Structure 1
Amino acid sequence: MGEHNRNPFAIASASGNAGGGSTSASSDSSFSSSVADTDDDQTIARILAEDESLRREQGKLGRRLSHLGSIPHTPRVNRQIPDVNDATLDHELLSGRLATYGLAELQMEGDGNCQFRALADQLFRNADYHKHVRKHVVKQLKRQRKLYEEYVPMKYRHYRRKMKKPGEWGDHVTLQAAADRFEAKICLVTSFREQSYIEILPHNKIPLRVAWLSYWSEVHYNSLYSVGDVPTRKPKKKHWLF
């Protein structure tokens, strides 16, 4: 699913190069890529640090839902998509919970990137930043392999490569990696029949921000707001609805 990402650090060396010309070109390319990554990291850090109004709004949501209890989060990969009847019942259950809690969804596109779009909307108020969110989540998966590998029932490098692909569905492992990378508490209002609310906390860190998502189990993620506060942005493509 999705296109294979090319390695930005790879340079095809010409045959017969002498005098270290290929090494120099490779070093220049690696340096440029490193600078680009550093600039991207700094831009994301600046946006997160400066958006005080965003933190106030998320805090307001947290106070409203402070009575909800959460179970400890265990990262896991996606399970089987439910059949139409079960998915419809799950959606009705989720919609009822959101209404009870005074929450409304900003619909994300149903293109396989919905988890990353919802996180981008919550963290940056721009769902179009989903590619940046995915990139940083995959970096986190690579840098802190020991934190996540035990939850992945396949060769870990294959899992990472899969998650790099645009359109690949995020799971609860990528949610944990996002919480760790962005130092965020990720709050899920779910369609699970036995558990309506899940908190995902960063490992060994005090969260600096909160992201609120709805989770229609094994089907779709959306970004959550208080009723009346949902932005007017509209998805470019059809979102998940029966």
Structure 2
Amino acid sequence: MSEQQQYARENSGSSQDHDGEMTIHPILSDETHKIDRSLGKRLSHLDSISLTPRVNAKIPDTDNAILDHESLSERLVRYGLAELQVEGDGNCQFRALADQLFRNPDYHKHVRKEVVKQLKHFQKLYEGYVPMEYRMYLKKMKRSGEWGDHVTLQAAADRFAAKISLVTSFRHNCLIEIIPKDKDPSKELWLSFWCEVHYNSLYGNDDLPCGIAKRKHWLF
């Protein structure tokens, strides 16, 4: 039995976490959260690259950020995609993941908590990508408002057994994929990534949840 399988077994009996938040177990068993490859089929013609986990790079200056945003917006229009806007409060990666997992960005605290658990219990998988004392990195990532990075994306893919696909503003890498390390993915999560600035939850134009305006960008 792998480390992750043992961890899942030890934690599977819990019905409620210590903060009284709803747990993921009933939600993940719901039919609506089984793997949905509709966006994957739509974008199957695109070349993708695998993600290399890393902490956040420097935020681009305003001019480059605007150019990156324009590039991302053009890609979303070209491929018939729309963003569900999440709040830009430092929790955007976790909000976008929560929307993809639970159809509710407000579960971001729960997603962050599960990701930090993954990082803590399987330190050997991630510490080589973190250029600081690992204990301090965990302490930082526990804080609400701390930006998620590519290490937390890998941990989320591993924790939730999810393939995470990013449609990005990178000029030469439109599509980045994060694959769970020790298991086959049981679901696909789609995010837009305005590089080093913001994440949103991604849908096809016709699939954006009802009542959400089909705005295709997150503005300054």
TM-score, L = length of structure 1 = 0.79
Give the corresponding residue for 1:44. Answer: 24
Q: Aligned pair 1:205/2:183, yes or no? A: yes
- TM-aligned CA deviation for residue 226 of structure 1: 0.4
Q: Percent identity?
A: 67
Residue 60 of structure 1: how far off its partner (Å): 1.3
- Give the equivalent residue in structure 1 for 2:57: 79
**Structure 1 gap ranges (5+):** 1-33
Show structure 1 runs of 4+ deviating over 6 A. 38-42
Q: Cα–Cα, structure 1 residues 79 and 115, in superposed 2: closer, same or farther, change >3 Å? A: same
Partner of 1:144: 122
Alpha-carbon deviation of 1:171? 0.3
Deviations along 1:196-223, whole A, 9 cap, x unmatched?
0000000021000010000000000000
Are the aligned partners of 1:187 and 1:200 in contact in 2 as well (CA < 8 Å)? yes
How many angstroms apart in 1 are the aligned matches of 2:53 and 2:121? 17
**Between 187-196 and 61-70, the greater mean CA deviation after superposition:** 61-70
Matching residue within 82, 89, 101 for 1:123: 101
Separation (CA, whole Å) in 2 of partners of 1:54 and 1:230: 16
**Aligned Cα RMSD in Å?**
2.2
One-letter code of the match for 1:44? I
Q: C-alpha distance in 2, partners of 1:217/1:162? A: 21
Q: Which amino acid aligns with 1:241?
A: L
**Alignment-derived partner of residue 91 in structure 1:** 69
Q: How many residues align?
A: 204
* TM-score, length-scaled by structure 2: 0.86
Is 2:17–2:23's contact at 8 Å kept on the other side of the alignment?
no
Letter of the 2:163 counterpart: K
Q: Which amino acid aligns with 1:132?
A: H
The 1:180/1:122 distance shift into structure 2, 3 A limit, reads same
- Give the structure 2 partner of residue 17 of structure 1: none
For residues 64 and 98 of structure 1, do their structure 2 counterparts lie closer, same or farther at Cα, with a shift above 3 Å needed? same
In structure 1, what residue type is equivalent to 2:26?
Answer: R
| 1:153 paired residue number | 131
Counterpart Cα distance in 2 of 1:174 and 1:98: 24
User: Does structure 1 retain, via aligned residues, the 8 Å contact 2:27–2:33?
Assistant: no
The answer (yes or no) to whether the contact 1:109–1:240 under 8 Å persists in 2 is no
Residue range with higher mean Cα deviation, 65-74 or 191-200 = 65-74
Q: CA deviation at 1:61?
A: 1.3
Q: Which amino acid in the other structure matches residue 99 of structure 1?
A: V
Q: Distance in 2 between matches of 1:196 and 1:37?
A: 37
Q: Deviations over 1:25-71 (max 9, x none)?
A: xxxxxxxxx77438979941221121x23446x32111111122211
After TM superposition, the structure 1 = structure 2 runs for residues 172-211 of structure 1, keeping only pairs within 5 Å, are: 172-211=150-189
Quick one: which amino acid aligns to residue 32 of structure 2? S
Deviation for aligned residue 1:228: 2.4
Equivalent position SS for 1:148: helix
| Matching residue's letter, 2:74 | G
**Amino acid paired to 1:212:** W
Corresponding residue of 2:197 = 219
Please list the CA deviations of residues 132-178 of structure 1 after superposition, one character each: whole Å capped at 9, or x if unmatched. Answer: 00000000000000010000000000000000000000000000000
Q: Is the 8 A contact 1:108 1:118 kept in 2?
A: yes
Q: 1:77 to 1:39 in 2, by over 3 A?
A: closer
* Structure showing greater Rg: 1
